[in-house]
Amino acid sequence: MAESEKEAALPPKEKFSDWYNELLWMAEIMDVRYPVKGLYVWYPFGFAIRRNTYNIIREILDNSGHQETLFPLLIPENEFMKEAEHIKGFEDEVYWVTHGGKDLLEIPLVLRPTSETAIYPMYKIWIRSHADLPLKLYQVVNTFRYETKHTRPLIRLREITSFKEAHTVHATWEDAEVQVREAIELYTEIYRRLGVPVLRSRRPDWDKFPGADYTDALDAIMPDGKTLQIGTVHHLGDNFAKTFNIKYEAPDGEQCYAYQTCYGISERSIAAIISIHGDDKGLVLPPEIAPIQVVIIPIIFKKGAEYVLAACKDVQKRLKKIGVRVEIDASDLRPGAKYYKWEMKGVPLRLEIGPRDLENNVAVAVRRDTGNKEQISLPDIEADVILIFESIHKNLYNNAKTGLLNRIFDCTNFEEVKDKIQKGIATIPWCGKKECGLIMEDQINAGILGIPLEQKKDWKEKCPVCKEETKTLVYVARTY
Amino acid sequence: MAESEKEAALPPKEKFSDWYNELLWMAEIMDVRYPVKGLYVWYPFGFAIRRNTYNIIREILDNSGHQETLFPLLIPENEFMKEAEHIKGFEDEVYWVTHGGKDLLEIPLVLRPTSETAIYPMYKIWIRSHADLPLKLYQVVNTFRYETKHTRPLIRLREITSFKEAHTVHATWEDAEVQVREAIELYTEIYRRLGVPVLRSRRPDWDKFPGADYTDALDAIMPDGKTLQIGTVHHLGDNFAKTFNIKYEAPDGEQCYAYQTCYGISERSIAAIISIHGDDKGLVLPPEIAPIQVVIIPIIFKKGAEYVLAACKDVQKRLKKIGVRVEIDASDLRPGAKYYKWEMKGVPLRLEIGPRDLENNVAVAVRRDTGNKEQISLPDIEADVILIFESIHKNLYNNAKTGLLNRIFDCTNFEEVKDKIQKGIATIPWCGKKECGLIMEDQINAGILGIPLEQKKDWKEKCPVCKEETKTLVYVARTY
């Protein structure tokens, strides 16, 4: 679409915010020109990234006993208003539907900000016996938040277009806790597949999901050192079960309240992939996510053009046969312009094939992640391409992991923390008392991200506020 | 979920409306107990049918040069109110969002009833040159209609959860017309894959899409003889292009208005599959749609149980390997109860494997569509299952096609029409004049469905109203 508009250069990634906004447009991920604040349009190329990403999410959930389902968007006021904590958390940011045609609705309807209050009235009907448990459902839906903060595509939206939310029900608090841990592992695995290393922590109590017993979360680190929350897992205890009267009959005939969890991932997953791996030339995509995995550039001189093109088509056919998404760019652009275009789109592998390569029965393979060039043998090209894909994925993930670990700074006092969170994430001891935590946040002028799910062993320090000894570290970070 | 509730018998299909409602619940397609009228919940099993159905729709669109995309749900009032005809068609049935949190919104927002007015402001920006055309995008989204008529799951909804809408842009009216014909062919192909034969006709002018030059449509015939509109294709001319100022630069430098089409399919596609093929025992699903394609029932006596189970697992593994969705039912239910359960869910093929079958190296294969039993050889089971699937699909489609053709009745006068539309579809000559058409509808007390896209040749009759000779037939039917 309007290629001609896109001759401007991408800002350097160092200027992250500018880079991010321009890249979304230049690589055709999202268009921000929709005439309502906080609502954006997926370009087809961006949507293809979304499709690949959500295929992975669905695959991992389906293979772990989850089933996909779909509940209505509209929640009646009376259901929405049942759980007190939950309302407090959301009432300032929900959209209200008040009219149908010219009629005032008898009961106003909320656009779901999340679906507990849509789903749990049905769970009340569906769950009868312990044999119905555990119940593990999920849906991928649009949800809405009337954001008053600065909105940003894929990150802070008024319409979250791609909210994957799972809602599980269990017989005991402990079973639900096991599910929380399973969800954390599944999400970690999803993000490993997406090439995104994560920090895993328990949110401080004052930052948990409204209505939950506790909230664990996954964060990624962005190029500017801020963290991006890219997954949350909530232990709901029996709070919603009591509100929505979700009970099951135990083997001994007793009627018991059920215990619940819920966990979500949104298109922030895609913001993380893009931001972490991209570079000054544009997108860099893990092969499994890339809409186009290989672009073949025929190197054509006046003589032998047809022969070269035929060879390119043959390679394309062979790669397609093993499921590779591969395009040939036989356009009239100069090779340099072609490289620029496909690098911007993050195509993991470029294959250049010219007459001399064909004489030697090779192609020149250029990796998007490293820029490395190597000759690969045409007869073995299927196996080689798969190996290169694996290598690219590993390289992207490992680099990102190193980048994450290098930006975690162990600190013992507030001055250090204030300094280090300009570059990344600080750790600092905390006794665990709320009053100390709030004083800490106030002194540092940043939030406690959470308590790492994996703590250092054989280690002790003093809480910088009350000076009590503690074995607990917390992450502190600037956040999106 | 709460299996115990489901011991009631399914009403006979003859009582179509009762049968349909009970089946949706007993086969776990949709739950109608959501606490807002016209909004329903997809059970996981129903959602799996949806997934398979929409995979086919996406595959056929992707392979014909369409790209998937995603636009916002919320349309600002000022954009929605631009196209006069369009507003007239929809203003009585849109939901309005008026508040965000406790704030009154400056500009009220409409929940899309369809997305022309969300998409076309972006098309105005995206389309610059003839080289940008044709543009062929689609999305699968939830859309909303404030229905005042009787609502019905999958058929008449307040939230259409699965609206696949395509929106194309072309340089000329004729190019757009070619696209309309292509869309009709693609939809026919989609429905062939879904096992649903269709009637194709042009809607009378007073029944076209608000803002279109004309509307072609696909209808299925339901068991009660009423037709169900399951796809529409609209030639929009340059009506919306003029409203939204969608122009392209022609090769000669002239700025020209573009021409557009749009076409849609909803979850009515699933209502048609279910209604056409189901029987007194429950669902009958074409294999490509069935969430479970094969159920293996181990026939276990006291002796040899493990041996039989191991053989069943081996068959399952082999079938999974070739992509078949296959389950083993090794539960404690009696065989009869198992048959009942899986027949209700429309599983196309049941394989019974017992000790005697294993002695003979066979399984007993029972087809859901015909009830036929045959022995199939275990060593060849993969190939045999695939052949049976093809045969089932063909049989379902052909039976449905015969059922459709047998219920089209050629008529020449109103009395005949009034009689025949109790059983199906009537045809009657029509001169094409609106006044005659409206008189006809009034006399028959039913609507003109449309003018068949394929007309009889070498045939002439008189319009029953004005008595003019005409070569045009129209379909008349009772409709959903």
* A76 three-state secondary structure: strand
Mean pLDDT value of segment B158-170 = 98
**What residue ranges of chain A have pLDDT lower than 50?**
1-5
What is the structure's pLDDT at A7?
Answer: 54
B394 pLDDT more than 50: yes
Task: Give the count of beta carbons closer than 10 Å to the beta carbon of residue B309.
Answer: 16
pLDDT tens, position by position, B21-72? 999 999 999 999 999 999 999 999 999 999 999 999 999 999 999 999 999 9
Distance of CA B237 to the CA centre of its chain: 26
ipTM for the assembly: 0.96
Determine the distance in angstroms separating the CA of B347 from the nearest CA of chain A, rounded to an integer: 18
B199 pLDDT more than 90: yes
Tokens of A124: 């009340």
> Minimal Cα distance from B32: which residue of A?
A122
* A265 three-state secondary structure: strand
pLDDT tens, position by position, B166-194? 999 999 999 999 999 999 999 999 999 99
Q: Do A111 and B97 touch (CB under 8 A)?
A: yes
What is the structure's pLDDT at B89?
Answer: 85
Q: What residues of chain B lie within 8 A of the CB of A135, using their CB?
A: 1
> Minimal Cα distance from A146: which residue of B?
B100
Q: Do B47 and A68 touch (CB under 8 A)?
A: yes
> Minimal Cα distance from B3: which residue of A?
A132
- Name the residue among B125, B132, B161 with its Cβ closest to that of A33: B125
The b-or-e profile of A239-251 (16+ CB within 10 A means b, else e) is bbbebbebbbeee
CA nearest neighbour of A56 among A286, A217, A219:
A286
Residue B136 banded pLDDT, cuts 50, 70, 90: very high
What is the structure's pLDDT at B305?
Answer: 87
What is the structure's pLDDT at B85?
Answer: 83
Q: What residues of chain B lie within 8 A of the CB of A158, using their CB?
A: 74
Residue B1 banded pLDDT, cuts 50, 70, 90: very low
What is the structure's pLDDT at A171?
Answer: 98
Q: Do B43 and A69 touch (CB under 8 A)?
A: yes
Q: Do B74 and A98 touch (CB under 8 A)?
A: no
DSSP bridge partners of B229: B219
DSSP, residue by residue, A408-442 = EEE-SSHHHHHHHTTTSEEEEE----HHHHHHHHH
- Name the residue among B48, B107, B111 with its Cβ closest to that of A97: B111
- C-alpha separations of A435 from A298, A413, A430, A449 in Å: 66, 17, 11, 16
Q: Do B159 and A72 touch (CB under 8 A)?
A: yes
What is the structure's pLDDT at A418?
Answer: 96
Mutate to test the interface with A, among B31, B62, B99 (most CBs of A within 10 A): B99
What is the structure's pLDDT at A268?
Answer: 98
**Which domains, from first to last, does chain A contain?**
3-277 (3.30.930.10), 294-391 (3.40.50.800), 408-477 (3.30.110.30)
The residue count for chain B: 480
What is the structure's pLDDT at A8?
Answer: 67
- Name the residue among A2, A93, A121 with its Cβ closest to that of B101: A93
> Minimal Cα distance from B99: which residue of A?
A96
What is the structure's pLDDT at A85?
Answer: 83
CA nearest neighbour of A419 among B185, A411, B415, B90:
A411
Q: Do A79 and B122 touch (CB under 8 A)?
A: no
Mutate to test the interface with B, among A61, A71, A144 (most CBs of B within 10 A): A71
Mutate to test the interface with A, among B4, B29, B36 (most CBs of A within 10 A): B36
Task: Give the count of beta carbons closer than 10 Å to the beta carbon of residue B55.
Answer: 12
Say if strands B373-377 and B362-367 run parallel, antiparallel, or are unpaired: antiparallel
Q: What residues of chain A lie within 8 A of the CB of B102, using their CB?
A: 91-92
Q: Do B96 and A100 touch (CB under 8 A)?
A: yes
B164 pLDDT more than 60: yes
| d(C-alpha A203, C-alpha A453), whole Å | 10
Helices (H) and strands (E) in chain B — how many of each? Answer: 14, 25
Helix (H) or strand (E) holding B257: strand B255-257
Q: Do A69 and B102 touch (CB under 8 A)?
A: no
Q: Do A100 and B100 touch (CB under 8 A)?
A: no
For A281-332, strand residue ranges (E) read 294-298, 326-328
Q: What residues of chain B lie within 8 A of the CB of A132, using their CB?
A: 1-2
- Name the residue among A71, A98, A102 with its Cβ closest to that of B92: A102
DSSP, residue by residue, B5-60 = GTTSPPPPTTSHHHHHHHHHHHTTSEE--SSSTT--EE-HHHHHHHHHHHHHHHHH
What is the structure's pLDDT at B8?
Answer: 67
pLDDT tens, position by position, B267-303? 999 999 999 999 999 999 999 999 999 999 999 887 7
For A344-432, strand residue ranges (E) read 349-353, 362-367, 373-377, 408-410, 425-429
Determine the distance in angstroms separating the CA of B265 from the nearest CA of chain A, rounded to an integer: 18
How much is the mean pLDDT over chain B? 95
- C-alpha separations of A85 from A69, A95, A158, A166, A232 in Å: 26, 18, 22, 20, 18
Determine the distance in angstroms separating the CA of A188 from the nearest CA of chain B, rounded to an integer: 25
